[in-house]
A and B are shown apart, each in its own frame.
Chain A
Amino acid sequence: EVQLVESGGNLVQPGRSLTLACTASGFTFKNYEMYWVRQAPGKGLEWVSHISSSGSTVNYPDSVKGRFTISRDNTKNSLYLRMTSLRAEDTAVYYCARGPFYSSGYYFAYWGQGTRVTVSS
């Protein structure tokens, strides 16, 4: 069974940093592209980052580019999101998601339960 368990969410002051982690199990982690997707309170879904299976390719939307860094450790079956210069608008539930085994597109086949980040003074 595919399992994705996020951790690291917290209350943090604006301008500070936070690192989220996602621990994967039930599949061969190193073979899959991974993502972070967030959902602000009462709002819809927003894609936050993508990383290739090897970690050599990463992508971000403009809203977080230069502030967020996605990374992975395939030896630990773990995905990370380093978030710096946090803003109130980064307040959201952050979901870790796994891509398909193969696709010419990007999508999220499995999702974790999410971890809550609140940016407030």
Chain B
Amino acid sequence: QKEVEQDPGPLSVPEGAIVSLNCTYSNSAFQYFMWYRQYSRKGPELLMYTYSSGNKEDGRFTAQVDKSSKYISLFIRDSQPSDSATYLCAISGSARQLTFGSGTQLTVLP
């Protein structure tokens, strides 16, 4: 079993849709949860960062962590074509030993 599982997609949605991206993990010691966005030919860019269960909101983005289920989600409201990218979840027990999911490729169609 992989430490972090992420559905690779690809996921295609119409503009304005609500997008839900998810990861599951196996190590209950993990306590840092991050979402990165990676555009084509670019490096990953940090979107959201949390270390507790519950929701964290930033504009159109909401990160949700359920430690009891070992499940994290990223929701994108009112999705835009500019949100088209690969989304990576990253989870760790320490900030210097991140374990990444394989990424979900998202396309938002105008």
Partners in one complex: no
